[in-house]
Amino acid sequence: DAGITQSPRYKITETGRQVTLMCHQTWSHSYMFWYRQDLGHGLRLIYYSAAADITDKGEVSDGYVVSRSKTENFPLTLESATRSQTSVYFCASSKTDYGYTFGSGTRLTVV
Amino acid sequence: QQQVKQSPQSLIVQKGGISIINCAYENTAFDYFPWYQQFPGKGPALLIAIRPDVSEKKEGRFTISFNKSAKQFSLHIMDSQPGDSATYFCAASPGSGYSTLTFGKGTMLLVSP
């Protein structure tokens, strides 16, 4: 199906473990984004990408890394998960840098 | 530093009433102002957006009012319905080149039957 898909939908991991959240879009949109959503903080930008092999840090990038070897994929990796990274993570894509389309999110719990 | 301030944090409106959510921004380079609607368990979805060359944009029951001099914009939901109960986010972007959206903290709207 066309669209933007995030996986897994839910994830529980232990402190210190590496975890990767996947994001795949079928529109060949140039721009992709990762946000985290926390109560009282709204949506905060983690990383973004204008094209394959072009990525930039957002407001809350510490502890996260991204890659974009293919236009359609934009995985987000937590190198060593901490409890403060418990959150709902949203991936988004855009044909231009307006009008984002968001995925359904990954709820990550770090215990 | 929060660049987009949204209020209120939560809002309860009776069915048929008008829901009003306000946002203020600081960065004068912002020139694209969208509103997103989010239902529980779902990602935010673009609802309506405005650029500073107009003061108002209406789509059905949803209207954005924009005041460039005050650096404020608001979402009005006319004839609010229980199905409008959701979290609403305002956002802003410089909109030129490689830029990103800065979101407000969100407003939880409950429309009572």
Q: Render each residue's pLDDT in chain B as its tens digit; 113 residues.
A: 568 999 999 999 999 999 999 999 999 889 899 999 999 999 999 999 999 889 999 999 999 999 999 999 999 999 999 999 999 999 999 866 567 899 999 999 999 99
Residue B100: per-residue pLDDT: 87
State the architecture of B4-112 in CATH terms.
Answer: Sandwich (2.60)
Residue B85: per-residue pLDDT: 98
Contact A36, A46 (CB under 8 A): yes
For B1-113, list the strands marked E by DSSP.
Answer: 4-7, 10-14, 19-25, 33-38, 45-50, 56-59, 62-67, 72-77, 86-92, 102-103, 107-112
Q: Does A100 touch chain B (CB under 8 A)?
A: yes
Residue A40: per-residue pLDDT: 85
Residues of chain B positioned with their CB less than 8 A from the CB of A94: none
Range of the domain at A105: 4-110
Residues 80-99 of A with CB under 8 A from B: 90, 92, 97-99
Residues of chain A positioned with their CB less than 8 A from the CB of B49: 98-99
- Residue A102 maps to which CATH number? 2.60.40.10
| Number of domains comprising chain A | 1
Residues of chain A positioned with their CB less than 8 A from the CB of B46: 99-101
Contact B25, B7 (CB under 8 A): no
CA distance A21 to chain B (A): 15
Q: Does A47 touch chain B (CB under 8 A)?
A: no
Residues of chain A positioned with their CB less than 8 A from the CB of B43: 90, 92, 102-105
Q: Does A33 touch chain B (CB under 8 A)?
A: yes
Residues with Cβ within 8 Å of residue B64, at least 6 apart in sequence: B33, B35, B48, B49, B50, B56, B57, B58, B73, B74, B75, B76
Query: Is residue A28 very low, low, confident or very high in pLDDT (cuts 50, 70, 90)?
Result: confident
Contact B3, B29 (CB under 8 A): no
Q: What are the sequence ranges of the domains in chain B?
A: 4-112
Contact B11, B108 (CB under 8 A): yes
Query: Is residue A46 very low, low, confident or very high in pLDDT (cuts 50, 70, 90)?
Result: very high
Output the CA torsion sign for A18, A24, A29, A51.
positive
Quickly count helices (H) and strands (E) in chain A: 0, 11
Contact B81, B106 (CB under 8 A): no
| Rounded average pLDDT over A51-64 | 94
Q: Cβ atoms within 10 A of the Cβ of A73, count?
A: 14
